[in-house]
Structure 1
Amino acid sequence: MLKSLPLLDKKVLVPRGKNQAKPFVELVERYGGTPVEIPLIAFRPIAQNQRLHDCLMALDTYDWIIFTSNVTVDTFFSFFDMAGSSLPKIAVIGKKTADVLQHRGLQVEFVPSSFVAESFVEEFLPYVNSGARVLLPKGNLAREYIASALTEAGAAVDEVVIYETYMPEDSRVKLTKMLADHQLDILTFTSPSTVDHLMDVVREHGLEEQMESCLIGCIGPVTEKKLQEYGLTVHASPEEYTVAEMIKSMITYLEKGSAV
C-alpha cells in the first residue's frame, strides 16, 4: 500500500505549459510533492502557406483525417472553420484527443488500444483501402512513421505541418538555475522533444553532474529510447502512457527503494 504522501519533500519537474499543466500539478500535490512548472515545450501555429490552404480547400476529397494530439486539434481548427463544412472520417491516437474532438461535437471513428504510432498503424490498417486519401496534420518535429507505413500499405497520405515546436526562453533560464542549484529531485518527460530541449540546456551549461542526482520518469517507449540515447537511466516508464501512471510508477520505484 502506498504511503499517504510518497512524494513528500520531492520537487517534481512538470514539463507542460499552463494550459496542460493543471492536472499534472494537482497529481503531484496530491501525493505530497512540490510541482515545479517549467514548460519544456511550447507550440505556435505556422504562417499560412499555399500547401495548407490547398489541403483545407480539398478537405472533402479525403477519406480520413488523423489527429495525433490535442495540440494538433486546436491548431487545425484555428485554421479551419467548421461552419457549413464537414470533415472526413476521424482517427486519433489518444483517448484525450478523442475527448477534445467529441467536445467539439465531432464523431471519432477510430481510437487504437495503445496510444503510440506503431499500435495505431497496426490496428488502423484494416480500415484503410488501397488508394484511400488520408490527411495528416502535424507538428514540424513529428515522426514520419504513420505516413510512411500507410503509404506503404497503398494509401495516399498528405502530411501538412500546421505548428512548430520550441522551448520558451523563460524556461531555459529557470531550468538552468534550478538544475545548477540542485532544486529538482524528479524529472518527467512526456515526449522526445521535451528530452531534447532539456538536454540542450544541460549540455550548454555543463549540468551533466547535477542530472545524476535526479530520478527520471517518462511516458512511452519512444521517449524512453530518447532518454537512453543520452545515456540517462529511466526509473519510471509505465505500460500505460499517461501522466497518472507515470507518477504511480515513480512512487512504486521510491517505495521499493525505501524498503531496501
Structure 2
Amino acid sequence: MLKPLGLLDKKVLVPRGAGQAKSFSQLVEKYGGISIEIPLIAFRPIEFTQQLQNAINQIDTYDWIIFTSNVTVETFFSFYKKAEPKSFPKIAVIGKKTEEVLQERGFKTEFVPSAYVTEVFTDEFLSLVRSGSKVLIPKGNLAREYISTALSNHGVLVDEIVIYETYMPEESTEKLAKIIAQDELDILMFTSPSTVNHFMSVVKKYQLESHIDRCVISCIGPVTERKIRAFGLPVHVSPTEYTVKEMIISTINFLAK
C-alpha cells in the first residue's frame, strides 16, 4: 500500500523550468517531499527557416504530423498561428500529455501508442501508415532519428524539421553545484537523457561525484536509464509507465522497501 507521506522530508530534484515544474512539484509535495526546482533543460525556438515556411504553406499535403512532446506542440503553433483542425493532417503523438495539449487547441489525435516510448510508438504506428504517405515531424535539435528512419525504410516520405533547440539554463549551473555540494538532495529524478547530461556536466565540472553517491536515482524511460548507467550511476527506480506520477509512486514504493 502506498504511504500517504512516502516522501516525507525528502529533498527531491525537480529538473524542469518554471512553466513545467508546477505539477511535478505539487506531486512531490503531496507525498510529503520537498521539491527543489532547478531547470536542467530549457527550450528556445530556432529562427524561422525556409524549410519550416514551406512545410507550413504545404501543410494540407501531409497525411500525418507527429508530435513527440508538449514543447514540440507549443513551438510549432507559435510559428503556425492560423492552423484550423479541418485543414490539418492526421495527428499522432507519443504521450497523453501531448494529446491533452492538442485537445486544448481543438485538435483531435488519431493515434497514441500503448506505451509512451519511441520504439513502441514506431512499431504500432507503422501498421497505420502506407508506403508513399507523407509525414511531417517537427522536433528539437537533440531528438533521435529513430522514427523517421523506420518510416523511411517503410517507404514513407518523411520531412523532419528542427523547430527548437535544447540548452542548459546558465543560472541553473551555480545553483545546482551549490545544492549538491551541501548535500541538499536526497532523490534525483530525471525526465530525459538531456537532463542527465546537463546534471552530470555540473557534477564533473565541480568534481562533486562523491556527493551524489547517497542519492536515490529515479528516471522515466529506457533511453534515460541507459544514459544514467553510461555515467556509471545506479538506477534505483524506472517505472514501466513513463510518467512523472508513476516515477514518484515507484520511488515511494522503493523507499518503503
Q: Determine if the TM-score, normalized by the shorter chain, exceeds 0.5.
A: yes
CA offsets, 1:70-113, max 9 Å, x none?
Answer: 00000000000225672111111111111111111111111111
User: Per the alignment, in what secondary structure is the counterpart of residue 87 of structure 2?
Assistant: coil
Give the Cα separation in 2 of the matches to 1:4 and 1:163.
39
TM-aligned CA deviation for residue 2 of structure 1 = 3.2
Give the Cα separation in 1 of the matches to 2:137 and 2:2.
42
The 1:61/1:90 distance shift into structure 2, 3 A limit, reads: same
Report the counterpart of residue 82 of structure 2 in structure 1: 82
Report the counterpart of residue 157 of structure 1 in structure 2: 158
CA offsets, 1:167-206, max 9 Å, x none?
Answer: 1011111100000111111000000000001011111111
Report the counterpart of residue 51 of structure 1 in structure 2: 51
1:13 aligns with 2:19: no
Query: Residue type matched to 2:118 in 1?
Result: A
Query: Which shows bigger deviation, 78-87 or 89-98?
Result: 78-87
Give the Cα separation in 1 of the matches to 2:27 and 2:191.
15
Report the counterpart of residue 239 of structure 1 in structure 2: 240
TM-aligned CA deviation for residue 114 of structure 1 = 0.5
Give the Cα separation in 2 of the matches to 1:10 and 1:35.
8
Superposition pairs for residues 96-175 of structure 1, below 5 Å?
Answer: 96-175=97-176
User: Per the alignment, in what secondary structure is the counterpart of residue 111 of structure 2?
Assistant: coil
Query: Residue type matched to 2:117 in 1?
Result: V
Query: Residue type matched to 2:106 in 1?
Result: G
User: Per the alignment, in what secondary structure is the counterpart of residue 187 of structure 1?
Assistant: strand
Report the counterpart of residue 181 of structure 1 in structure 2: 182
User: Per the alignment, in what secondary structure is the counterpart of residue 48 of structure 1?
Assistant: coil
CA contact (8 A) 2:27 2:245 kept: yes
Query: Residue type matched to 2:221 in 1?
Result: G
Query: Residue type matched to 2:114 in 1?
Result: S
Query: Residue type matched to 1:20 in 2?
Result: Q
The 1:119/1:83 distance shift into structure 2, 3 A limit, reads: closer
TM-aligned CA deviation for residue 28 of structure 1 = 0.8
User: Per the alignment, in what secondary structure is the counterpart of residue 242 of structure 2?
Assistant: coil
CA contact (8 A) 2:219 2:238 kept: yes
Query: Residue type matched to 1:193 in 2?
Result: S
Report the counterpart of residue 26 of structure 2 in structure 1: 26
User: Per the alignment, in what secondary structure is the counterpart of residue 12 of structure 1?
Assistant: strand
Superposition pairs for residues 196-235 of structure 1, below 5 Å?
Answer: 196-235=197-236
Aligned residues: 256
Query: Residue type matched to 1:46 in 2?
Result: I
Query: Which shows bigger deviation, 230-239 or 83-92?
Result: 83-92
Give me the CA root mean square deviation. 1.1
CA contact (8 A) 2:2 2:249 kept: no
Query: Residue type matched to 1:27 in 2?
Result: L
User: Per the alignment, in what secondary structure is the counterpart of residue 216 of structure 1?
Assistant: strand
Stretches of structure 1 lacking an aligned partner (at least 5 in a row): none
The 1:81/1:193 distance shift into structure 2, 3 A limit, reads: same
Identical-pair percentage: 64
CA contact (8 A) 2:65 2:92 kept: yes
Give the Cα separation in 1 of the matches to 2:170 and 2:230.
25
1:193 aligns with 2:194: yes
Give the Cα separation in 2 of the matches to 1:94 and 1:105.
17
What TM-score do you get using the length of structure 2 for normalisation? 0.97
Give the Cα separation in 1 of the matches to 2:42 and 2:53.
24
Query: Residue type matched to 1:14 in 2?
Result: V
Report the counterpart of residue 71 of structure 2 in structure 1: 71
CA contact (8 A) 2:68 2:139 kept: yes
Stretches of structure 2 lacking an aligned partner (at least 5 in a row): none
Give the Cα separation in 2 of the matches to 1:224 and 1:78.
32
Query: Residue type matched to 1:48 in 2?
Result: F
User: Per the alignment, in what secondary structure is the counterpart of residue 134 of structure 1?
Assistant: strand
